[in-house]
Amino acid sequence: MDFWIIAGALALGTGLLIARALLRGQAGDAAPAAYDLRVYRDQLRDIARDAARGVIGAQEAERLRTEIARRILAADDRLRAGGDTGSQPRGAAIAVAGLSVVLLAGGGLWLYGQVGAPGYPDLPIAQRIAASEAARAERLSQPEAEARFAPEITPPEGVSAENLALVQRLREVVAQRPEDQQGLQFLVRSEAALGNLAAARAAQEQLVALRGEEASASDHAMLAELMIEAAGGYVSREAEAALRAALARDPRAPTARFHLGVYFLQVDRPDRAFRLWRDLLEESTADAPWVPVIRAGIEEIAMRAGVRYTLPPQAPAAPGPSAADIEAAAGMDAEARAGMIRGMVARLSDRLATEGGPVEDWARLINAYGVLGEAEAARRAWDEAQAAFAGDEAALDSLRAAARSAGVIE
């Protein structure tokens, strides 16, 4: 309340000062024409001194006196006609003065209402952290979040009855053999493809529990991602725990870092979200799926965190299918599309074999061969990737998860 009183008084006082000057029609104690008369009289005295000293001739002095006398008469006429207000129209002066007060006082309050935070108290950093910790303690559980925020299940168009029957059969097999890890992997992918995110999350949860301490960073990151998607983007307590489990195994796990940044935004810690996303953005190629989201919001997040940050130029995308390739693939029949995909996978394989590449590209290659059903090629890629990243346990965890997904290892 004190802020509103002080701000209102300052705005009103400024408006009244401007209005007073407008109503008087002058900036000082006299009308503008009176100041002109003083200047002209001073000029007459200067001419007399210059003529006496011989600086100017008598003829030039007379010409200057005549010109200044003409100006004195004009200023005197203006002074007589306008009086103290300088002939300013009284009605117009009142209207402009009133408008100035309204714009300064009312406009200032309106602008603050739009871009400011009326009623929001000043929060020291310690108080903000305490509020964030309270928000963390009150996070919904995964079942509560799914009950409140779960998106409507919308199976993709064109799913055949035969496909649905196969998925139902897979569910029955997994129910009969709950320790079949490969069956669970297939079930996770199948349920997610059908839009059954809660079912996919439950299957991944079961898979992670089966693997126990051997569950990789990718396993936990996938579980967290499925939890978040099943809850409509809300990061529950269980999803946070899965993200932290992934990062405990691989501190550089990209999807886990991205989603943990989302979590920090949801509990009002833009400072921690900014640090995570800035580092992730600097390490990512332009075609990484999280890059557009980060680039769209990181500058505002930095401002909220009290950091001056300029978004770096867009990094070039890694070699891969272009927008034209994707558009062309959409119009192909199944056989031609499969051929195009094999060509892309072959190019990725050639690039990794000749130039090398990051662990994400090797994992993508192994997964691609698994999707294409080329188990032998997936196994060769897995062997080559192990040799390329020997000794890097975090990278090997990611590759091992891709190899499991492709059916190369158990």
What's the number of domains the chain is made of?
3
pLDDT in tens, 358-407: 888 888 888 778 767 788 888 888 888 888 888 788 788 888 888 887 77
Has residue 309 been placed in a domain?
no
Query: Same domain, yes or no, for 144 and 258?
Result: yes
Query: Same domain, yes or no, for 70 and 155?
Result: no
Pair 261, 270: CB distance under 8 Å: no
Residue 27: what pLDDT?
47
Burial 34-64 (b: 16+ CB within 10 A, else e): bebbeebeebeeebeeebeeeebeeeebeeb
pLDDT in tens, 336-351: 555 666 777 777 887 8
Residue 207's Cα: distance from chain center in Å?
34
* Whole-number Å distance between alpha carbons of 243 and 142: 14
Query: Same domain, yes or no, for 164 and 73?
Result: no
The whole domain housing 154 covers 134-268
pLDDT in tens, 169-195: 999 999 999 999 989 988 998 888 888
Has residue 105 been placed in a domain?
yes
Q: Which residue stretches of the chain have pLDDT < 50?
A: 26-27, 86-87, 320-324, 326-327, 330
* Whole-number Å distance between alpha carbons of 251 and 240: 14
Query: Same domain, yes or no, for 96 and 171?
Result: no
Query: Same domain, yes or no, for 231 and 335?
Result: no
- Nearest C-alpha neighbor of 253 from the set 209, 284, 274, 210: 284
Query: Same domain, yes or no, for 155 and 89?
Result: no
pTM: 0.55
Q: Which two tokens stand for residue 71?
A: 């100006």
Query: Same domain, yes or no, for 389 and 336?
Result: yes
Helix 197-211 crosses helix 217-230 at what angle (to 10 degrees)? 150
* Whole-number Å distance between alpha carbons of 170 and 12: 74
Torsion angle defined by CA atoms of residues 180, 181, 182 and 183, in that order, rounded to the nearest 10 degrees: 50
Has residue 156 been placed in a domain?
yes
Residue 33: what pLDDT?
66
* Whole-number Å distance between alpha carbons of 392 and 216: 14
Query: Same domain, yes or no, for 196 and 75?
Result: no
- Nearest C-alpha neighbor of 349 from the set 317, 393, 319: 319
Query: Same domain, yes or no, for 111 and 36?
Result: yes
Query: Same domain, yes or no, for 145 and 249?
Result: yes
Query: Same domain, yes or no, for 257 and 146?
Result: yes
Residue 125's Cα: distance from chain center in Å?
22
Terminal CA-to-CA distance of the chain, rounded, Å?
66
* Whole-number Å distance between alpha carbons of 223 and 6: 53
- Classified as helix, coil or strand, 270 is helix
